[in-house]
Each structure stands twice: as C-alpha cells, then as structure tokens.
A and B are shown apart, each in its own frame.
Chain A
Amino acid sequence: MEGELVEADIVVAARLSFKKIQSYEKYPKGQTRGRWKHLKQILQAENFPDYPPDLPNYSNIESPPSTQPCKRICDITGYEAPYVDPRTNLRYANTHVFKTVRSLSADQVHQYLSIRNAAVVLK
C-alpha cells in the first residue's frame, strides 16, 4: 500500500487482535449478499399482534396521520397551490407555472410526483 495511505491510516486492518472471530472468517468472500432481513421483514417476524396492545413496540409507537387539513403546495415553485393539472396531476400556483408544467417531459413529471410519493408506478 502507498506510503500516503499508510500514513493516513484510513483502512481498517483485516486482522484485529481484540476480536474473537475475525471478519474474514465470519464472512468468507462471495457469500455476503442478501443475508440480512430488512426492517419490514424484521417487523413481520416480530409478530406484534401476539402481544398486548398496551405494550409499546416498534410499530405501535408510529404516529397517526395528521388531523389538520393537508397542505397543498405547488410542486414546482413551493407556492400555495389552488389548482391541479388533470393531465399530469401536478399541483400548480398560477398560469405562469401552468405553462412550465405543460412543458415538462413525462420523466420530469414523474420525478416531481414521486417526490411526494404520488407517482403511479405500473408494474
């Protein structure tokens, strides 16, 4: 390894004396992918419905939806948006923004919609 790298000391040593099992023994090369459950799978495996509902757990402490009226802002400018374009479903504030909305490509529209998780993805 280059001298500069050794000096910077940024690479974690492969063998560390304080470990009982070294990483290279635990995770041999080429078998590392897809072994970890994602949060969704972890939560499913926890079987939360089996426990009393008054016992706090990861999913029941989640916040409820808001009771306040949903704020609608223009997808492009951030102004308050009284209108929705029926073709693209984008919210817009005024005629000037509407012109921009209509000039957007389908891809851009999709990106704007997916920012607020409103994009329709056909599978």
Chain B
Amino acid sequence: MAFVSKIRRQTDYNTFPSSVPIVIDNGASYFRIGWAGETEPRVVFRNIVQRPRHKATGETVTIVGDLDPAMMKYFDCTRSGPRSPFDSNVVYQFEIMEYILDFAFDRLGADGSGIDHPILITESACNPVQSRSKMAELLFETYGVPAVAFGVDAAFSYKYNQLHGICKKDGIVLCPGFTTTHAIPFVDGEPIYTGSCRTNIGGYHITDYLKQLLSLKYPFHSSRFTWEKAEDLKLEHCYIAPNYASEVRLFQEGTKEAEEKTRYWQLPWIPPPTEVPPSEEEVARKAAYREKQGQRLRDMAEAKRLTKINESENHLQSLRFLLKQLDQVEEDDIPSFLSDTGYASRQELESTFSKVIQSLRKARGEPKNEPDESEENTDSFNNEKYPLLNVPDDMLTPEQLKEKKKQLFLKTTTEGRQRARQKRNEEELQKERKHQLEEERRRENPEFYLEEMRVQYKEVLERVEQKKRLKTNGNSTNGNHKSGNVGRGERLSAAQRERMRLLTTAAFDRGKGEDTFGAKDEDWHLYKLMSKDHDDDDEQLDSDEAELARLSSRLQEIDPTFVQKLEEDSSQISGEVPRVRPLTEEDYKIVIGIERFRCPEILFHPNLVGIDQVGLDEMAGVSIRRLPHDEKELEERLTSSILMTGGCSLVPGMKERLECGIRMIRPCGSPIHVVQAMDPVLDAWRGASAFAADLNFLGNAFSKMDYYEKGEDWLRRYQIRYNTL
C-alpha cells in the first residue's frame, strides 16, 4: 500500500557526514524524512499530533502520527483530538510543526547538539512568505540547521519522473493532493508558477464527503463512520467513473452490472436470543412451584385467622365475665371497679364488646348483616343508639346536651354514608344495564353494532383532536412544525388571539369617560376570559378522552382489525431504523454503491461539494491559458506530457477519465498523453532526495546569515532551480 507509516528509530545518524542533506516531504497528510541520495525515506508518519494526558502521571504528553489503538488505554484523549499544523496546504501552527520535527529528527536518530545537516523541505506552490519565513526561523533557531532549501512537491515528482523518462521537459503536472489540487506547467524543465492553478479540493474532501453521505444514509450507525474508517473505505472501494451520467444510470435502473459494482460492509450484528418455548416439563414444574407457594401463603393466612379468632374469643370471654361481674356491682362502685380494667364506663365496655363480636364474625367469615339490619329496623336501632335525640332540649343537662349534639352528628354522617352507598349501587346497576343493553344489541346485529361503534369512535377522536389543535397551536396538522414550539413568528391560536385582544382593549379602555367597570356582574367575567388558562372545556375534554378510551378498549375487544390511531409524529418515515421491529442483519449492512464513484467525482466537479472552481480536467486547460506564450507548438508539447501525481491519482479510472476530459477542452486532433507517476505518493520525496544529492544543492539553499541579511522581499521571490537534477 502507498500509505504506510514507518516510525522505527534509525541508528545510523552519526555515520552521515554533516554535508549530507536531510530531505523532508512535508505533506498535509504524510510526513516523510530521509537522507539525500537514498531512494526510500527513512521515517514516514501521518502529519498529525495528539497531546493527550497520560492517565497514570497526569502530565500532557506529545504523540506524533497515528496513535496505536492498543496504547489508547493509557491516555485520556477527551480534551484534545488529533491536530494538524496545516490550514489547507499551508503550515500555520508552528508549535505543532515543532513537535512533528522533534519526533522526525528523533526517529532519524539525531542525538548530538543540533542538527548539523542542510535541510531540503517541501512546501506548497507559492507558499505565503509568512509561513516560509516561520519555517526557516524554526529550523535555524531551534534546531541549528546550517542551510535550508524550499521546493514544491509536485515539481520534485515531475522532475523525478522526467529523470526516468516518464515525462518530457515540457509538460504539465497535475497533483491532486490531500487538501488541494495543483496544475503546474513545465517549460524546459522548470516549473512556471504564473501558469499554475490551484483548486481547493483533495483527498480529504473525498473522505469527508463519503463519511457525511454514509452517516446521513445510515443515521442509526453514524457513530461507526469515523474519519479513519471512511478513509479506509475510500482507499478500498472508490473509483472514478468514465462517465458519471451513464454510470449513475446503471444504478438507477438497477441493472445487474450495478449490482456487481455494489459493495457491502457488514457491521457486526448479534442476533437477539430466540425465545425457546419452555418444555411441558418445565411448565408443569413451574405450575407446581407456584401452587406450592400459593398453598404456603394460604396456610399462613389460615393460621393467622385462627389465632385471631382464638384471641377474639378469649377477649370476648373476659369481657363477658367483666360485664357479668359489673351487673353484680352496685351503681356507685362502678368507677372504682372499672378503674382496674382500663374502661371508663359501662357504655365503653359495651361498645368494645360489640366491636369484638363484630371482628370475630368477620374473622370467621360470617356475612356482615349490618346493612340489612340497619335498613330493617332503623328506627328502633336509632332509638337504641341515639337515645337522646328524641328528648327535648329543655329536659337535658348541659352535659347531656353535648352528648346529644355528638349523637346528632354521628347519625347524620352514618345516614350520609348510607345514601352514598345506595347511589353507588344504583349507578353500578345502571352501568350493568347499559352494558347488557349494548351486548344485546351486539348479539342482534353484530355488523351494524360494530359500524356504529366505529363511527362513534371516529367522532369522539375528531372532537378530541380538534380540541387539542385549538389548544396547542392550530398548526400541528401542518406537518411542517413537528417541534410544536411556538416561535416568534408563529401565529397564535384563536383562543390566544382573543385573549390578547381582551388584554389590549382593557389596557386602553382606561380614561375614556366614566369608569363603570364592575357595576355589572358580567364585567367580572372578563377576568375569567383573560386568565391564562381559561379552559372552560377542560372537563368536557376530559370526559371526551375518557369516552375515547372506553370506545377504543371496547373496539379492541370485539374488532380484530381495529388499530388505535396513534399520534401523527410516529408515522414519520425516514432512513432511521424503526424501533418497533426487531433489528435484522440487513439493518447492519452498509451498502456502498453510487458512493463509490460519487465521492471521487468531486475532483472533477468541485461544485458538487460547493467549491466553485474548475475540476481536475479543466485545470490543465486553465494552466495552458495562463501560461504566457505565443506558440501553438508549445501547447501541444505540454498536453503530450501530462503527469499525474499525488495520492488521489491512485484512484482507479483516473487516467482514462482525465484523458477524456482534457480531450474535450482541447482543439480537435491535439496530441494528449496522460501518464501516471511511477509512485504518485513517494516520487516527490525521491525527486527531492535526488535534487539534494546534487553537488550544486548548496547553491540553491540559504543559510541563517542569508536569511537575516537579505530580508523578507528576497525570501518572497526565493525559488530553487530544479534543472540541476
């Protein structure tokens, strides 16, 4: 693979004399460093830095390049993600750049004091002087580098391929890189930057596009589509369609060819445990166990009941004995006799006695025949229980009067309770009767009855919904405002509008002649209307809702086809996996069909992702147009040697498409020859390495002294001559 990191520490740093330059290809995605004259860079890693906290010691550490997931557990990465020193294709964060250079030199094996080698480092075409000078400063001041040279990666790649006879001295290099794509024309082996052009699109945008499309297509799995995963998918599956329109038509028509071109990514999916119906044995065992438990509970209850009966009987016995004794005691001695037993009077003793009898009866399970009793002989019972009620007041002592009041109160409450009970019974009877009536009607004509029920249900449902709509905003049916919030621009409901009108008129009515407000009773009604939650129909709504619930439950009982109407929101369809149905393996299958060529298509049509610039094929034309020249022959020489380099030119189908695209914009019959670089990823470094190995290299580099003496304007115009290669 083209993108492989190599971060093993080198040991032979000290074997290189200080005249051997160090060559750095500082790309936006990968950083490559090695020795001039060699064919392979020594150290390669992704150009990113992470500064997580080390969990054990709590200090911030610096990790350059990809972090091994196995080591992740030692670090706390929550506060800092991976950071790049690049903004687009220009280095701007020199702190990050410094960490990267630290790591690179360290891996190259540097251990002396300072880096005592000239350095050739790549930069973007027409790098702003600010970035260039900061880089030079960093290398001079921090690392003590004796000399520095800057070159353009695409140019080095072209020169390297020219050296190997792939392309000629006149030509165009097209370099779709990580964040930008360049087209640079070469005349007589020198890049002409006046003829170059740059479109701000590259491999990063392709990956990002793929990632966003997939996470929008599968919102349920969006967390799976990390940037790294999307990058892997891109490298593995993306290709460039020879003709986007015809390729997409294949997929639109669902042809067999399209099916073959579709790729699937099966996410790990664990089938939910299937429920095996329990065996008969198990069912029997469970039933037996339940029965046993039930029996135990029943036994316990029975035992408890028996002890209670026993206790009550004993109590009763003692009370009866006490009463009998009391009969024998003289009237005057009663208080002293009772003081030992804890009862205050004979009445109290009697009431306790009757209570115990009642509880005993209840415990034994005998029917409580009190109500009949009370109904049958209410009068006699009342006379017995409330003896003072029928006695005129003037015949009673104050104490007895008090007692009478108490009895009166007791009597009215018991009577009230009885009445309530009666009413309840009646209601229940009525309900039962109604139910029976309905049942009868159903039996007579089930079809008709069902229809009637349905109509009724619909009516009530409509009524309830109407109320709800009025209450919320009136526009919940609109479908557009699912959120239901009343925003600033939203209209108020009729009720709310009316309330606002009342408030404003009330506010402005003041001071108009005589204030007669409150003279009539109706005036006060206004406040009720004004109050925020004047919901007169609340009760009505509640009753409607209850009716609705009753109807729907009834319908559910008798109509198998009945489906309760749910809230509107739940009927929403979208790509989301519905929760109600159990997830299947299909739901975990990511289909990558059109995305395979839709994503790389943005290299040719940047406006698909909103970048209004020419695509890769047109760039060649723009480049030729910009180049100051007046011979037609040069144009032909240029188009007959077009080199593709840079990571994105590895996408399959690139060469054919590019050739086809350039042919369309060039005059008929012009020679067009597109070639791919030998190694689009590493050729830039190799070219730079060959360039730095030349004896004339130092003539192109500048020292710290030059840097400080010659000034910024010189640095701005600084440009190496590639023809030494």
Which chain A residues have a beta carbon within 8 Å of chain B's beta carbons?
Answer: 1-2, 4-5, 8-13, 16-21, 23, 26-27, 32, 35-39, 42-43, 45-46, 54-58, 61-68, 70-71, 73, 77-80, 87, 93, 99-100, 103-105, 108, 111-112, 115-118
Contacts and interface: CB of A to CB of B under 8 A. Distances in A.
Contacts of B92: 36-39, 42
B309 interface: no
Contacts of B95: 23, 27, 32, 35-36
A18 B105 contact: yes
A35 B609 CA distance: 31
A36 B94 CA distance: 8
Contact of B614 (A16, A19, A63): A63
A44 to B, nearest CB: 10
Contacts of A100: 573-575
A18 B143 contact: yes
Given A78-B598, A79-B248, A10 B90 contact: no
Given A1-B57, A58-B126, A77-B594, 11 more contacts: A10-B71, A11-B54, A12-B103, A18-B111, A18-B143, A39-B92, A43-B128, A58-B124, A66-B614, A71-B244, A79-B251
Contact of A21 (B141, B198, B595): B141
A56 B608 contact: no
Given A37-B92, A65-B613, A11 B62 contact: yes
A38 B84 CA distance: 12
A21 B144 CA distance: 10
Contacts, number: 195
B99 to A, nearest CB: 6
Nearest to A43: B128
B196 interface: yes
A61 B194 CA distance: 7
Interface string B49-69: 000001011000111100110
Contacts of A93: 252
A117 B110 CA distance: 46
18 contacts: A12-B63, A16-B110, A17-B111, A17-B113, A18-B111, A18-B112, A18-B113, A35-B95, A38-B87, A63-B198, A71-B244, A78-B594, A99-B573, A103-B573, A108-B219, A115-B216, A117-B610, A117-B611
A17 B112 contact: yes
A118 B105 CA distance: 44
Contacts of B115: 18
Nearest to A73: B608
Contacts of B609: 115-117
A9 B614 CA distance: 45
B614 A65 contact: yes
A111 to B, nearest CB: 6
B507 interface: no
B610 A116 contact: yes
B454 interface: no
A62 B198 contact: yes
Contacts of B143: 18-20
A71 B613 CA distance: 13
Contacts of B315: none
B102 interface: yes
Interface string B432-452: 000000000000000000000
B141 A20 contact: yes
Contact of B607 (A66, A111, A112): A66
B67 A10 contact: yes
Which 9 A/B pairs are nearest by Cβ-Cβ distance?
A117-B610, A56-B193, A39-B87, A78-B594, A63-B613, A78-B598, A63-B199, A12-B62, A116-B610
B216 A20 contact: no
A13 B128 contact: no
A20 B139 CA distance: 10
A73 B251 CA distance: 14
B664 to A, nearest CB: 9
Nearest to B60: A29
Interface in B178-235: 193-194, 196-200, 209, 212-213, 216, 219
A9 B198 contact: no
Given A12-B102, A67-B618, A42 B63 contact: no
Given A18-B115, A23-B102, A38-B92, A11 B598 contact: no
